[in-house]
Amino acid sequence: MFTRKPLTLPPQLQWQYQDEPALAEWSLKARPYNTDIANGLFVIFVIISAAAAYWHRMLNGFPFIVDILLFCVFISLALSMTHQKTKLAYRLTASGLEFCEWKAFPEWLPTLLKWLAVITGVVMLMLVMVHPAALIGAIAGPGLIGLMYLRMGTSSQFRKMHEQFHQGFHPWNDFTKMIAFRRRSIIGLDFTYFNPQADEGKGRMIDTDRLIYCRKSRYNELIRIIRARLPDSTPYEEAYIQIYA
């Protein structure tokens, strides 16, 4: 048994089998989606942002610091879209696998946008005295950032879109196959469930998997613990896992 540190769950989530001794428990931040596609999109964003900053500089002749600021803003927005992380927590007991996942709204983000709008506005207004064309940037840049700040700070729907709280449990006999995806330190456990909404409400059994995100330093130990709990006849292989989320 090993633990990295006591798990801190949000008030919305609690372990259902917390009275049972843990065979293993851990928590981490992970990107639960296809990171190859996300990384590719980020590279495209970087290329487009760099080209736009270069074009803006050649066209308007603004000081280099302006183009650096614009580039940093666009890259920050790209990172927020392609590198989002979800908090994950797992607990293995004799009864089965229990997991929690959550994504709370980043309270620091509206504050950051507010100060970014103020600082950008001051810089752009100072540049107006050097180059009159900067007036457009002084209005558009801080104005757009200010609108984003107002939307984030006042819209409950926007906050709800960026929050996620989910938990679940699987007894060990649910799983029919185990796959180790070593490149990303992921364990995939196949299982089947009945979906009453499938086939236009007729319902049918659905084959899917439960992905377990692990720390690389504990990956082999977790594989050993989980395999010891599964029936000896459960197939095991090491292969690539296609992540659709």
On whether both 133 and 224 belong to a single domain, the answer is no
On whether both 115 and 231 belong to a single domain, the answer is no
Report which of residues 226 and 78 the model is more confident about.
226
On whether both 34 and 79 belong to a single domain, the answer is yes
On whether both 155 and 188 belong to a single domain, the answer is no
On whether both 212 and 194 belong to a single domain, the answer is yes
On whether both 221 and 123 belong to a single domain, the answer is no
Locate 84 and state its tokens: 């989002």
**Full residue range of the structural domain in which residue 140 is found:** 24-93+105-161
Listed residues 145, 161, 177: the one ending a domain? 161
On whether both 69 and 174 belong to a single domain, the answer is no
Query: Which pLDDT value is given to residue 45?
Result: 85
Report which of residues 209 and 150 the model is more confident about.
209
Locate 173 and state its tokens: 């006999």
Q: Answer yes or no: is 15 within a domain.
A: no
**pLDDT tens, residue by residue, 103-134:** 866 655 666 666 666 666 666 556 556 555 55
Burial 75-84 (b: 16+ CB within 10 A, else e): eeebeeebee
pTM given for the model: 0.74
Report which of residues 20 and 155 the model is more confident about.
20
User: Span 92-96, mean pLDDT?
Assistant: 96
User: Span 149-153, mean pLDDT?
Assistant: 53
Q: Answer yes or no: is 89 within a domain.
A: yes
